[in-house]
């Protein structure tokens, strides 16, 4: 990969999104939340009326979807957005609805869906330096990255954070599904820097990551 890629993986509501955005801002890199890819696909599949448990139908329906990613400047930083069938799904009402929260880990467990989405993720690294966030960034999508981080926090704290965001989301169940799937399960890569964010502020986590990056040069 021609450009530097900083990978941030971790459990649900461990602080990945906010931290990844701050790192992207600080370095002038493009922020890419790969969860949005899985969420956008799940949202579309649900709105087309498919049962997400029907793997064959889901895979077939996905082969007809027109998907692309575009880099946009939002406020003071660059962000990769997902465009599906020429529509940009709304972050709050479409991508983070209770229905999508409940179904996304099922769709994300299908190996053929993950394979299909792989090139969309890698392709962006040919366009711009990236801060990527997800579950398998360091392990599968960008294993060659020398800048890997893994965030986690105690379950109770993560549930509290999600609740504060006003979202209906079964954090524990989603983690369980993400960790137990056979294709690209959620795990901390052996060469990643692991951070427990239970008692850390966003600023502290960002400082720690920038410090590690600084020392790596």
Q: Which residues bind ligand C5P (CB under 6 A)?
A: 12, 34-35, 38-39, 104-105, 108, 134-136, 174, 178
Which CB sits closer to ligand C5P, 48 or 111? Answer: 111
Q: CB neighbours of 7 closer than 8 A, spacing ≥ 6? A: 132, 134, 137, 138, 141, 142, 145, 147, 148, 149, 192
Q: Is 14 annotated as a binding residue?
A: yes
Q: Is 35 annotated as a binding residue?
A: no
Which CB sits closer to ligand C5P, 39 or 161? Answer: 39
Q: Least distance to ligand C5P from the beta carbon of 214, Å?
A: 26
Q: What residues pair up with 29 in beta bridges, in sequence order?
A: none
Among residues 1, 2, 17, the alpha carbon closest in space to that of 134 is found at: 17
Q: What residues pair up with 130 in beta bridges, in sequence order?
A: 5, 30
Q: Least distance to ligand C5P from the beta carbon of 81, Å?
A: 14
CA pair distance 204, 133, nearest whole angstrom: 18
Q: Is 13 annotated as a binding residue?
A: yes
Which CB sits closer to ligand C5P, 111 or 211? Answer: 111
**Residue 89 corresponds to which tokens in the numbers above?**
């799904």
Which CB sits closer to ligand C5P, 179 or 211? Answer: 179
Among residues 33, 118, 47, 129, the alpha carbon closest in space to that of 82 is found at: 33
Beta strands 67-74 and 5-10, pairing class: unpaired
Q: Least distance to ligand C5P from the beta carbon of 178, Å?
A: 5
Q: Least distance to ligand C5P from the beta carbon of 136, Å?
A: 5
Which CB sits closer to ligand C5P, 30 or 34? Answer: 34
Which CB sits closer to ligand C5P, 94 or 178? Answer: 178
Among residues 131, 134, 25, the alpha carbon closest in space to that of 74 is found at: 25
Q: Is 93 annotated as a binding residue?
A: no
Roughly how many angstroms between the first and final C-alpha of the chain, as a whole number? 18
Q: Least distance to ligand C5P from the beta carbon of 217, Å?
A: 27
Q: Is 128 annotated as a binding residue?
A: no
Q: Least distance to ligand C5P from the beta carbon of 215, Å?
A: 26
Q: Is 10 annotated as a binding residue?
A: yes
Q: Is 47 annotated as a binding residue?
A: no
**Residue 196 corresponds to which tokens in the numbers above?**
């427990």
Beta strands 67-74 and 77-84, pairing class: antiparallel
| Residues in binding site | 10-18
| Residues in binding site for ATP | 10-18
């Amino acid at each position: 990969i021609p450009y530097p890629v900083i990978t941030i993986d971790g459990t649900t509501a461990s602080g990945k999104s906010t931290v990844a955005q701050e790192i992207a801002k600080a370095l002038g890199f493009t922020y890419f939340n790969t969860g949005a890819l899985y969420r956008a696909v799940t949202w579309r599949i649900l709105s087309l009326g498919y049962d997400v448990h029907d793997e064959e139908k889901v895979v077939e329906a996905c082969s007809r979807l027109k998907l692309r990613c575009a880099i946009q400047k939002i406020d003071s930083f660059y962000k990769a957005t997902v465009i599906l069938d020429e529509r940009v799904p709304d972050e709050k009402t479409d991508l983070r609805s209770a229905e999508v929260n409940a179904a996304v880990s099922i769709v994300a467990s299908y190996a053929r869906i993950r394979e299909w989405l792989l090139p969309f993720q890698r392709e962006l690294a040919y366009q711009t330096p990236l801060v990527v966030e997800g579950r398998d960034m360091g392990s599968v999508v960008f294993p060659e990255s020398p800048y890997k981080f893994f965030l986690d926090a105690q379950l109770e704290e993560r549930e509290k954070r999600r609740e504060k965001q006003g979202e209906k989301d079964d954090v524990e169940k989603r983690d369980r599904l993400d960790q137990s799937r056979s294709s690209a399960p959620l795990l901390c890569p052996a060469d990643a820097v692991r951070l427990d964010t239970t008692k850390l502020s966003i600023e502290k986590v960002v400082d720690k990551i920038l410090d590690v990056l600084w020392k790596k040069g």
